[in-house]
Structure 1
Amino acid sequence: MTSWKKNFKYYFLILLAAGTFFIWYAVFIESKSILTVAFLDVGQGDAIFIEAPGGNQVLVDGGKNSSVLSELSKVMPFYDRTIDLIIATHPDADHIGGLPEVLNNYEVKAVMESGNLSESAFYKELEKMTKKEKAVRLSAQKGQRISLGGGVYLDILFPVGDAGKMESNASSIVVKLVYGGNSFLFTGDSPRAVENYLASVYKDNLDVDVLKVGHHGSDTSSSEMFTGYASPAYAIISAGKDNSYGHPHKETIDTLNKFGAKILATYELGTIIFRSDGEKIKIKK
């Protein structure tokens, strides 16, 4: 082989290696600046996984049973066994039933609750596992801000004061997730009275790109006043297919349509994943 052919092959391999490196480096850098929000398909319940650009992870609710584990395995690599924060919005089984199994299978650093007292077996099991796994217990209060790094933060909008003796749904932690110009709102099972309180306090500051529709699309939530101020581009309904509650209710769908929200449902699409760079939001196909 002539020398120029040898040199050409040598330089070609160097260029190929360099090109591959820069492609993967670009992918790595892009992933480091992306916020991921996944509305997990846990049937008739709620579970939302959040991963900030710096890698910090939050799970908002955990569905009604251990099915949340299989959904988490789809959005977390197999070697990642830690979750920085769990937010249990309120002590209903379809929101906290799967959390003890999450605590049993992942190293969870902290668990935030609304402070609502419950005698249910599901809540007692969550308390037991939180203590056993030595996760820090936190109580949510309006005005708290939790930084997830990379410019991402969570604002606690509700509850206000002592939620201990409130009706369970009315005690739901309401969280706004913000990254640059993009935002998400998670409302648990908050009823209309709480929604309207939030609308009266926050007004246009409720405006978000993505709204997790309250109470699985029940007509006990999604008031016109609240939905109008939230004005979401996307409205996510987390509910089971052909559930016995008839969720989502027609009144809720009509309200969301009135304000121009694109409705996406886990019972139709499975797990729904959004990715944000702080400027634009995309749905992961």
Structure 2
Amino acid sequence: PGPAAAAAAVAYYPLAFILDTAQLAASPGWAAIESGRLSPEVAALALSVLAAVGHFAYRYLPDTRELPEAVRGRAVLGNRLLVGGATGALVLAIAPGIDGRPGHLRIDMLDVGQGDAILLTTPRGAQILVDTGPSGLRLARQLGAVMPHWDRTIELVLVSHPQEDHIGGLPALASRYRVRTVVTTGDRNDTRTAALAAAAVEERESVARAGDHFTVDGVHFTVLWPKEGTGGSLNDRSLVVLVEYDGVRLLLTGDSETPAQRALLAAGLEQVDILKVPHHGSRTSDPSFLALANGGLALISVGAGNPFGHPHPNTLAALEGATVVRTDADGRIRVDVESGRIRVRTER
């Protein structure tokens, strides 16, 4: 609602400025010291000393009434300059994010743990979310970090396949955001999470098959897989989509495995500039398929310390010809595609 959004905006900007300033100030290595573990008694004593010092300093503040008029005037001027500078810094901090249109293709591989969630933002600011990770709360936090706070619309969600680590955040997404269209393979999974996800987007679902294509703000999407009648596991029927913009090719692969990958290679799939490594880097990928990323960028969405051993050493070895970035080690990954060039930034 309008009043609630206005109230949230009033609180958001000052809090965001304070948080960003604190993070910036704390980022240098010398900005913090390791205090070690303190006992409750020592911590209480330290706080008592600080409280006593604060009380003494407050009690014996200088009497400004005795200051000359010129000194008081300079103090007032200094305060006004301080407030004005802080206001200007706040405006500079928030102004770049108000528009929300990057002017090029932006790709954010969100750090959602052991799962997949990738946000594509088109040059004019349309958002396409590819999978939603395992957790609605974690997805919301990640989206809040990369989307303008006032933007509550996701134009399109591509669901690669209905497994928990790819659809777990979909019910919460549908309740928090206005999701216009959801593209799926039409597959169903006999789990509670899958049932909740299907119910959340039932009226907005569109089933895709190989050969389907569409364009959003000059970003072209072509569905390569699955074909009509494709069998096998849910992983092997994962949605595989080729995204093309400004001469750069991005391949979204879901959890596709060797059978689907070999079929795509046999159909003539060529090199790509950016590869979303299938199935979190598990050993279920064909090395020849992974070689599509040689000379390019390989993105791996994987949870730190996951029990599956992802990414597998064999997969990493097959990706030696590519630049590999992964969420477990690098955090959230941002890729900007502009004028045919690829720029990569990582959270860590």
Could you tell me the TM-score, scaled by structure 2's length?
0.69
Larger radius of gyration: 2
Counting only pairs closer than 5 Å after superposition, residues 168-179 of structure 1 correspond to structure 2 as: 168-179=234-245
- Cα distance between partner residues in 1 of 2:150 and 2:249: 29
Q: Residue 126 of structure 1: SS of its match in structure 2?
A: helix
Distance 1:244 1:94, change over 3 A: same
- Cα distance between partner residues in 2 of 1:142 and 1:162: 11
- The Cα of 1:130 is off from its aligned counterpart by 1.0
Number of the residue aligned with 1:200: 266
- Cα distance between partner residues in 1 of 2:221 and 2:234: 22
- The Cα of 1:232 is off from its aligned counterpart by 5.3
Counting only pairs closer than 5 Å after superposition, residues 257-276 of structure 1 correspond to structure 2 as: 257=320, 260-276=321-337
Distance 1:92 1:210, change over 3 A: same
- The Cα of 1:105 is off from its aligned counterpart by 0.3
In structure 1, runs of 5+ residues without a counterpart are: 1-25
Structure 1 residue aligned with 2:152, among 59, 63, 81?
81
Number of the residue aligned with 1:140: 208
Number of the residue aligned with 1:215: 279
- Cα distance between partner residues in 2 of 1:29 and 1:109: 21
Deviations 1:153-208 (A, max 9, x none): 11111010035x6411111000111101112111010001111111111232xx21
Number of the residue aligned with 1:181: 247
Deviations 1:43-85 (A, max 9, x none): 0000000010022110000000111110011110110000011
Matched, 1:250 2:322: no
- Cα distance between partner residues in 2 of 1:60 and 1:30: 19
Counting only pairs closer than 5 Å after superposition, residues 11-22 of structure 1 correspond to structure 2 as: none
- Cα distance between partner residues in 2 of 1:184 and 1:230: 10
Q: Contact 2:293/2:319 (CA < 8 Å) preserved in 1?
A: no
Distance 1:237 1:32, change over 3 A: closer
Q: Which amino acid aligns with 2:272?
A: V
Q: Which amino acid aligns with 2:216?
A: L
Distance 1:193 1:232, change over 3 A: farther
Q: Which protein, 1 or 2, shows the higher relative CO under an 8 Å CA cutoff with sep ≥ 6?
A: 1
Q: Which amino acid aligns with 1:217?
A: G
Counting only pairs closer than 5 Å after superposition, residues 1-285 of structure 1 correspond to structure 2 as: 32-66=102-136, 67-131=138-202, 134=203, 136-149=204-217, 151-163=218-230, 166-204=232-270, 207-221=271-285, 223-231=286-294, 233-257=296-320, 260-284=321-345
Distance 1:29 1:47, change over 3 A: closer
Q: Contact 1:147/1:153 (CA < 8 Å) preserved in 2?
A: yes
Report the structure, 1 or 2, having the larger strand content.
Answer: 1
- Cα distance between partner residues in 1 of 2:144 and 2:99: 23
Distance 1:187 1:220, change over 3 A: same
Q: Residue 251 of structure 1: SS of its match in structure 2?
A: helix
Deviations 1:77-131 (A, max 9, x none): 1100000111110011000011111111000000111122211111110111113
In structure 2, runs of 5+ residues without a counterpart are: 1-95
